[in-house]
């Protein structure tokens, strides 16, 4: 994952982080807490 991250460039990494953050905020309270943890866990 680190190699892939380095190949993307900073702009793309920041955008992907924003997408994940927004998605997690939208899901908060709508799903089981365990699902949120599984989505955030690496690998």
Mean pLDDT for back-to-back runs of 10 residues, the chain (43 residues): 80 86 76 71 61
Please report the pLDDT score of residue 41 as a whole number: 64
Expressed as residue numbers, the domain containing 17 is 2-40
Crossing angle of helices 10-27 and 33-40, in 10° steps, is 170
| Number of domains present in the structure of the chain | 1
17: region left, alpha or beta (phi > 0 left; psi from -120 to 50 alpha) = alpha
CA 3/CA 7 separation, integer angstroms = 6
Please report the pLDDT score of residue 24 as a whole number: 77
C-beta neighbour count of 24 within 10 angstroms:
13
Please report the pLDDT score of residue 22 as a whole number: 81
């Amino acid at each position: 994952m680190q190699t892939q991250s380095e190949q993307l460039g900073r702009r793309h990494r920041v955008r992907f982080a924003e997408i994940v953050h927004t998605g997690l905020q939208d899901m908060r309270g709508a799903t089981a807490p365990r699902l949120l943890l599984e989505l955030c866990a690496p690998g």
